[in-house]
Amino acid sequence: MEKVTTLGEFIIERQQDYPGSTGEFSRLLSAIRLASKIVSHQINKAGLLNDILGAAESENIQGEQQQKLDIFANNQFIKALEKRKVICGIASEENEDFIPLNKEGKYIVSMDPLDGSSNIDVNVSVGTIFSIYERISPQGQPVELTDFLQEGNKQVAAGYVIYGSSTMLVYSTGNGVNGFTYDPGIGVFVLSHPNMKFPATGKIYSMNEGNFFNCSVGVQNYIKYAQTIDKATNRPFTGRYIGSLVADFHRNLIKGGIYIYPATQSAPNGKLRLLYECNPIAYIAEQAGGTASDGATRILDIKPTELHQRVPLYTGIKSMVNKAEEILKAN
């Protein structure tokens, strides 16, 4: 019988990746694991418990209508991370400002606790996205904004959880990407997708084409290129768009494709947030052999200037992103 590796075992085995951690980093990942189990359980009951479905009577800092499960997921991740005592601060999509925690904590976490939450009511996959950095302010002092405004290339780990037909936790600590599927029967995440890599080529493009005429000529020309019949395959690319960044990215990572959320006339800086959506997804993309760009600049090289900064995002197979950049540059 083939040996099964649990997430807990995997984290312990990989502790040598962080020789100065003395267990703090492992406790941090364990907190994310715990919170994702709780959120997964609640999401799976969404059709049975009407009090967790639908919109809450509030908006987040982005001016977006909060879903009840947005608030629930945010609270669960904050509580789990706070209890580990290794986090000095958290930045969340659902909070206007960062949350200071243990002054002695070594790490900060930026997160989107429930990406694509408006899909909950129609039973479509949603996710959690997280990004981890070492603080740059001195330990023993309160966390500062500068701790969060670090370039994505300084992340020590990043990942996402996808809640769909199964719950999967996918993450990287800079040594490749590994995916773990949750087995509710025994209550553990099991290594199911070791060393995840983008396929060499892909034929999927993921974009909300309802924004087509609201985009630049360059973006429009890339979509026209994607819809052109390929001489080798005698077919165009396939358009697939779920409306949940985690779900769209996860599919393209496994099947091969490019995800696009460009700047538009109504959102000239893009819509996705750099710190807790684009940076962690870009980190995973690069570790899986892909890439991520704002259309001209590598996402992980962008210097953040504010907590909820927005940027365009093009991510997926390198050749596909490079082609998009080429067409954008020419227009």
What token pair was written down for 200? 């060499």
- Is 24 labeled as ligand-binding? no
- Is 114 labeled as ligand-binding? yes
- Is 147 labeled as ligand-binding? no
- Is 277 labeled as ligand-binding? yes
- Is 208 labeled as ligand-binding? yes
Check if the beta carbon of residue 313 is closer than 8 Å to that of residue 272: yes
Residue 68 CA to residue 48 CA, distance in Å, equals 14
Residue closest to 188 by CA, chosen among 1, 34, 13, 62 = 34
- Is 115 labeled as ligand-binding? yes
Q: How far is the CA of 75 from the CAs of 216, 259, 274, in angstroms?
A: 38, 29, 22
- Is 256 labeled as ligand-binding? no
Which pairing describes strands 107-115 and 87-92: parallel, antiparallel, or unpaired?
Answer: parallel
Q: Where are the alpha helices (DSSP H) in the chain?
A: 7-13, 24-44, 68-83, 145-148, 217-226, 245-255, 279-287, 318-329
- Is 325 labeled as ligand-binding? no
Question: Given its phi and psi angles, is residue 284 left (phi above 0), alpha (psi -120 to 50 degrees) or beta?
Answer: alpha
Residue 258 CA to residue 291 CA, distance in Å, equals 10
Q: Which residues contact 290 (CB under 8 A, 6 or more apart)?
A: 198, 253, 315, 316, 317, 318, 321
Q: What is the DSSP letter of 64?
A: P
Check if the beta carbon of residue 118 is closer than 8 Å to that of residue 97: no
DSSP class per residue in 175-208 = S-EEEEEEETTTTEEEEEETT----SS--EEE--
- Is 116 labeled as ligand-binding? yes
Check if the beta carbon of residue 145 is closer than 8 Å to that of residue 98: yes
Residue numbers belonging to the annotated binding site: 93, 112, 114-118, 208, 241, 271, 277
Known binding-site residue numbers for substrate: 115-118, 208, 241, 271
Which residues participate in the annotated binding site for Mg(2+)? 93, 112, 114-115, 277
